[in-house]
Amino acid sequence: MNCMKSVIASLVLGLVISLMLVGCIVRRLAGPQLTGTCDGACAHYVQCKTGHSDADRARCMTECPNVFSDRDSLMAYESLSCDNAVEYVDGRSAKTAAHR
């Protein structure tokens, strides 16, 4: 009886681990979740920008509606690499979180 419980527990644990791995793989293959909103675009910018400053986010939220005219352009921005996303907003000399 104890052996059967161990086998069942092992199978359940294996299934849980498999589902977690599949979830990670699907998220990795699907890429970032694109929102098409200024909130999502600014979250991407702040995540990529060195320092994660509240001032950077506030500036982004103020400027965003004047720069992006539609959902598609916002989604395109959100899909940029960190280097390109920060460069788009701050210019070529800016440093991203990946290049500290």
What does the pLDDT read at residue 92? 82
In angstroms, rounded to a whole number, what is the distance separating the alpha carbons of residues 86 and 20? Answer: 32
What does the pLDDT read at residue 31? 60
Average pLDDT over residues 34-41: 94
For tokens 């600014």, name the residue: 42
Helix pair 38-48, 71-78: axis angle to 10 deg: 20
Is the pLDDT score of 87 beyond 50? yes
Based on the number of CB atoms within 10 Å of its own CB, is 97 exposed (0-12), middle (13-18) or buried (19 or more)?
A: middle
Helix pair 82-90, 38-48: axis angle to 10 deg: 100
What does the pLDDT read at residue 100? 45
pTM over 0.75: no
